[in-house]
């Protein structure tokens, strides 16, 4: 019994922590969501008199919540990157000051319901909510409540960074004599892959109307362009701004402006965003005129993944060249020449990719400072060891602050911190700041406008110095660095199953294009015919696909390839073909719907009862034309049978679909008859020989029976 009791206690001892852990985990599920609409002011100065926070609180749980209240909590001045990172991650901090809890109206919410949040806190020497000196402070919007069947607790909180340029009520402080140079990248990029297909000379087909929504007034892309156009009134902001544009987005919107269709379960339907596309493209053209522009990889492709496609063939650089060739697209469609050889790639780069983009003509890479390893702190641009490339580091701290909830406010706080606003240790200040929001940035239009206005205030206050990106890139490298591609980057990169399927499709595309010839009248380059497949493969490597399965990612590229080679096919006869003789040729009608000539080889499959008598020669099917080809065959038997006729390129790449020919024959072929006669003759010879031997044996037997015997008696 003692042993049994000990065993039971041991099981309970092990099980209880797991049980309580599960309960705790269940309690950590969010019950409320706080959406902030306004924080005014975004930056505290010596003339600030109050701080106002407005927004909404929504019950996202499964039970009513009562006694809802909110307060603001101010933490102590932040003095290190680690402290900034902890606030961005939602970590706890020591309170410097707090306000009283204020009840929300209504103070109880059913599941799915919302309540307004509105707090105004006075600032100044008489206020309890005081900032002691300039710096960057953590600010927490803390919402408490009591869930049904529970007790009062904190149910939601939003952590923000609050830059303080001057203490309210006190005299302004002087700024450093040498503020860091600052340039700001402004991403104009796709949020995801929208193109389903875009064949040469055919209609553009999108997966849905999400892109049209982003281009419409108030949409994500419309807001980005509108905010940048509004900022043109401030010359310092305008000169420091450099537009980072995805050429795939521009090409897609240009296609939409000329009419497009949307794929649905019932077939494609006409797209509704033609006018929105035209208007947005016009606004973008006006914005980029005379401005700094840099290119993103086509479709924001993971360049490291592209180097893994057909990695054994170092001579095939078509995918990488297409992914990095977006400058020509931007120039043709927007009328502006992007910065020569400057690239802002997505994702981390390994050494093989760095080498590949250098060979493709890239001279300067704008990259995450955390992906550069150097013996000295990064204070500006560096040379990448072993290459002719220059790397301009994007500040990682600011980039992470601009990403996620409270992005623009936290970004302002991180910029102020980097500019020296608050007790930095060595290596935390920067001589150059390259500020880059997330590539698929989606704050509201007013939030974007406010962010740029506040950047203008930073420039005016001398906190940072407005610097055009070309000037930043024109400065001599401050040292050398190597690229850092760690296991975390490997796990986040495009998967090997995706690149394997991309390699297979790329191989088939190469086999198809090698069989194409330019037609003298059409004058269409074969490379232009297969270009949609290549671009679809690049889109398959888009960073927006991460986490999707390989079939989904490569499905559009596979569909484009099948659509192209499906244009070259053998037509199936509408009726049974009667062979006039046993050795009659089989007529095949081959059509080519492509604007280029195609070299084809005809192959017979499932051809029991029929055999080719000689090799079928290759034929060139003219562009948008057809040829008749007589296939030398011989019937092996009389009667009705079928055979499949298929087409391939000379190297064996499949074309079109197989065509089944129904045949009938009343005669054997000449060779078959000869073989039959020969076999019959041999059979006759063998049969005659056997008959002859039987007759001979029979005669011998009769002779033995009629010959008289001489006995001993007779002899006597």
Distance CA 424, CA 431 (A): 13
Joined together, the tokens standing for residue 273 give 């965003």
CA-CA-CA-CA torsion sign (500, 504, 506, 510)? positive
What are the angstrom distances between the C-alpha of 544 and each of 192, 301, 493?
A: 5, 9, 11
Can you tell me whether residue 138 is helix, strand or coil? strand
Q: In which element (H, E) is residue 163 found?
A: strand 153-164
Question: What is the token pair recorded at 17?
Answer: 């922590």
236 phi/psi in degrees, rounded to 5: -70, -40
Q: Which residues contact 123 (CB under 8 A, 6 or more apart)?
A: 44, 48, 49, 50, 51, 129, 130, 131, 168, 169
Residues 671 and 613: their CA atoms lie apart, in Å, by 10
Residue 682: other Cβ atoms inside 10 A: 10
Give me Rg for the CA atoms of the chain: 39
1: pLDDT strictly greater than 60: no
pLDDT in tens, 83-107: 999 999 888 888 899 999 999 988 8
Helix (H/G/I), strand (E/B), else coil: 124: coil
Do residues 356 and 365 lie in contact, with contact meaning Cβ atoms separated by under 8 Å? no
> Which tokens is 595 given?
């604007």
What pLDDT sits at residue 57?
94
CA distance 465 to 176: 11
The pLDDT value recorded for residue 656 is 92
- Residue 333, SS3 per DSSP: helix
Question: Which residue in this structure is represented by tokens 């935390």?
Answer: 428
> How much is the average pLDDT of 468-490?
87
pLDDT in tens, 163-182: 999 999 888 877 777 899 99
Q: Characterise 593 by phi-psi region: left (phi > 0), alpha (psi -120 to 50), beta (else).
A: alpha
- Residue 250 structure tokens: 């521009």
Please give the pLDDT value at position 198.
Answer: 94
Q: What is the percent of the chain with per-residue pLDDT over 90, rounded to a whole number? A: 61
The pLDDT-based confidence of 697 (bands split at 50, 70, 90) is low
Percentage with pLDDT > 70 across the chain: 86
Condensed to tens digits (0 to 9), the pLDDT of residues 336-351 reads 999 999 999 987 888 8
Please give the Cα distance from 139 to 73 (Å, whole number).
Answer: 6
Kindly state the average pLDDT of the residues 4-12: 38
- pLDDT average, residue stretch 323-342: 96
pLDDT at 367 over 60: yes
- Give the confidence band of 672 by pLDDT, cuts at 50, 70, 90: very low
38 pLDDT higher than 50: yes
Q: What is the pLDDT of residue 8?
A: 36
The dihedrals phi and psi of 48, each to the nearest 5 degrees, come to -70, 135
pLDDT recorded at residue 426: 40
Count, in order, helices (H) and strands (E) of the chain: 21, 34
Average pLDDT over residues 141-167: 92
The string of pLDDT tens digits covering residues 609-642 is 777 888 888 999 999 999 999 888 887 777 787 8
419-466 pLDDT, tens per residue?
988 655 444 556 889 999 999 999 999 999 999 999 999 999 999 999
Asked if residue 612 lies in contact with residue 669, where contact means CB atoms within 8 angstroms, the answer is: no
Of 49-53, 190-194, 229-233, 345-349, the least confident: 345-349
Q: Is a pLDDT exceeding 50 seen at residue 580?
A: yes
What pTM was computed for the model?
0.84
Q: Which of residues 314 and 690 earns the better pLDDT score?
A: 690
From 407, 377, 413, 404, select the one nearest 393 (Cα to Cα). 377
Residue 230 clears pLDDT 90, i.e. is over it: yes
Predicted pLDDT of residue 228: 97
User: Looking at residue 667, what DSSP letter applies?
Assistant: S
Axis-axis angle for helices 274-288, 326-334 (nearest 10): 100
Question: pLDDT-derived band of residue 396, with 50, 70 and 90 as boundaries?
Answer: very high
Residue 699: per-residue pLDDT: 66
Neighbouring-strand partners of residue 434: 183
Rounded-to-integer distance, Cα 576 and Cα 573, Å: 7
Strand partners for 662: 642
- From CA 632, how far away is CA 581, in angstroms rounded? 12
Phi, psi (5° rounding) for residue 558?
Answer: -65, -40
3-class SS at 418?
A: helix
Average model confidence (pLDDT) for the chain?
A: 86
Query: DSSP for 56-94?
Result: EEEE-SSS-EEEEEEEEEEEPPP-SHHHHHHHHTT----
Q: pLDDT-based confidence at 496, cuts 50/70/90?
A: confident
pLDDT at 712: 40
Q: Are 70 and 142 in contact (CB under 8 A)?
A: yes
Q: Is the dihedral of CA 167, 169, 175, 180 positive or negative?
A: positive
């Amino acid at each position: 019994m003692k042993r049994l009791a000990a065993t039971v206690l041991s099981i309970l001892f092990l099980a209880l922590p797991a049980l309580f852990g599960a309960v705790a985990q269940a309690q950590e599920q969010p019950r409320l969501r706080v959406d902030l609409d306004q924080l005014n002011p975004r930056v505290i100065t010596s003339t600030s008199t109050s701080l106002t926070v407005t927004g909404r609180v929504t019950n996202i749980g499964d039970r009513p919540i009562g006694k809802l209240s909110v307060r603001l909590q101010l933490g102590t001045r932040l003095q290190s990157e680690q402290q900034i990172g902890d606030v961005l991650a939602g970590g706890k901090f020591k309170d410097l000051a707090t306000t009283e809890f204020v009840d929300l109206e209504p103070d109880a919410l059913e599941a799915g319901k919302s309540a307004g949040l509105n707090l105004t806190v006075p600032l100044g020497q008489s206020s309890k909510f005081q900032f002691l000196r300039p710096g960057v402070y953590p600010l927490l919007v803390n919402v408490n409540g009591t869930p049904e069947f529970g007790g009062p607790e904190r149910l939601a909180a939003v952590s923000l960074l609050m830059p303080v340029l001057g203490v309210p009520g006190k005299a302004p402080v002087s700024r450093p004599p040498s503020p860091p140079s600052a340039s700001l990248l402004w991403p104009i990029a796709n949020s995801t892959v929208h193109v389903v297909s875009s064949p040469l000379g055919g209609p553009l087909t999108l997966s849905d109307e999400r892109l049209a929504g982003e281009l419409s007034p108030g949409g994500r892309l419309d807001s980005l362009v509108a905010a940048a156009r509004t900022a043109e009134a401030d010359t310092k902001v305008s000169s420091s701004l450099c537009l980072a544009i995805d050429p795939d987005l521009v090409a897609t919107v240009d296609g939409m402006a000329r009419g497009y269709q949307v794929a649905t379960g019932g077939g494609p339907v006409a797209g509704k965003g033609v006018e929105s596309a035209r208007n947005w493209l016009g606004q973008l053209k006006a914005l980029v005129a005379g401005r700094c522009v840099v290119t993103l990889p086509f479709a924001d492709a993971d360049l490291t993944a592209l180097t893994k496609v057909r990695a054994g063939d170092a001579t095939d650089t078509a995918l990488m060249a297409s992914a990095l060739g977006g400058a020509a697209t931007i120039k043709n469609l927007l009328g502006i020449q992007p910065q020569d050889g400057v690239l802002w790639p997505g994702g981390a780069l390994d050494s093989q990719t760095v080498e590949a983009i250098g060979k493709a003509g890239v001279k300067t890479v704008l990259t995450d400072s955390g992906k550069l390893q150097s013996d000295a702190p990064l204070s500006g641009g560096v040379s990448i060891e072993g290459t002719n490339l220059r790397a301009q580091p994007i500040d990682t701290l600011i980039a992470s602050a601009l990403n996620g909830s409270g992005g623009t406010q936290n970004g302002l706080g991180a910029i102020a911190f980097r500019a020296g606003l608050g007790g930095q240790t060595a290596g935390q200040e920067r001589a150059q700041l390259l500020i880059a929001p997330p590539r698929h940035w989606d704050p509201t239009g007013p939030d974007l406008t406010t962010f740029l206005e506040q950047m203008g205030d930073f420039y005016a206050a001398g906190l940072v110095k407005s610097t055009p990106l070309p000037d930043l890139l024109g400065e001599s490298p401050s040292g050398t660095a190597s690229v850092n591609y760690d296991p975390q980057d490997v796990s986040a990169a495009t998967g090997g199953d995706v690149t394997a399927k991309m390699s297979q499709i790329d191989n088939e595309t190469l086999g198809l294009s090698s069989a194409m010839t330019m037609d003298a009248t059409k004058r269409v380059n074969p490379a232009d015919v297969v270009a949609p497949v290549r671009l679809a493969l690049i889109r398959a490597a888009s960073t927006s696909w991460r986490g999707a399965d390989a079939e989904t990612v490569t499905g559009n590229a596979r569909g484009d390839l099948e659509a192209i080679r499906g244009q070259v096919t053998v037509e199936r006869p509408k009726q049974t073909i009667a062979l006039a003789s046993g050795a009659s040729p089989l007529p095949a009608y081959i059509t080519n719907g492509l604007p280029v000539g195609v070299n084809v080889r005809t192959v017979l499959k499932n051809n029991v009862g029929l055999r080719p008598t000689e090799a079928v020669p290759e034929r060139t099917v003219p562009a948008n034309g057809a040829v008749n080809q007589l296939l030398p065959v011989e019937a092996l038997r009389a009667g009705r049978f079928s055979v499949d006729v298929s087409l391939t390129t000379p190297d064996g790449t499949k074309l079109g679909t197989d065509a089944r020919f129904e045949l009938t024959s009343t005669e054997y072929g000449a060779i078959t008859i000869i073989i039959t006669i020969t076999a019959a003759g041999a059979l006759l010879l063998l049969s005659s020989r056997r008959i002859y031997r039987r007759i001979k044996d029979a005669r011998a037997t009769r002779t033995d029976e009629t010959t008289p015997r001489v006995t001993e008696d007779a002899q006597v």
